[in-house]
Amino acid sequence: MPIMKPKNSFTETTLESAAPLDMPVVSVYTDGACIGNPGPGGYGAVLISPQGRKELSGGYRKTTNNRMEITAAIAGLETLKGKCRVDVFSDSEYMVNAVEKGWARRWRATGWMRNAKDKAVNPDLWARLLSLCEAHDVRFIWVRGHAGTKENERCDRLATSAAARKSLPADVVYESQEGTPSPRSNNRPPRLLRP
């Protein structure tokens, strides 16, 4: 049965279909870390659902903090089996705002351009993240970093530990663009590592 749902904090409303009640609900906490920026980087994700808890981490030998923040969300969402209702918690205002305020969708719609002159950064990862968001019912929620949020703190430890690992693989897209003023969107995304 359709429900009336507020579109924003003002008076507009839209008619939307209610999500199925049997859709699994998952909380995904994420964080990225970089030793130097750019430098060795890592990501961590903690998934919590009625079925249990799962931790993911991985890293790359040379990347950026923003790439690791986005990669953490991708890793968490790629782990899900079937359509889920997902709350992604992140201390990255950049990532949360890019999804929730529609920036990343706008960048994609304009050929990965932020404006008439500037290309969007990390289009390879944004494309993957947006695709995953379209496969699930996802909401991004900002949490203050290093403020005692248990699962966010755990993700920080996972990401930092991953960044410090020896023999990390290459972030192929980032390293291929190094020295290039703007990223290209046709590069193959880096392979995510799982423990």
Would residue 137 show up in a list of annotated catalytic residues for this protein? no
Would residue 69 show up in a list of annotated catalytic residues for this protein? yes
From 91, 124, 151, 171, active-site residue: 91
From 59, 69, 124, 171, active-site residue: 69
Would residue 32 show up in a list of annotated catalytic residues for this protein? yes
Would residue 58 show up in a list of annotated catalytic residues for this protein? no
From 44, 58, 124, 156, active-site residue: 156
From 12, 22, 82, 146, active-site residue: 146
Rounded CA separation 32/190 (Å): 15
Would residue 31 show up in a list of annotated catalytic residues for this protein? yes
Q: Which residues are catalytic?
A: 31-32, 69, 91, 146, 156
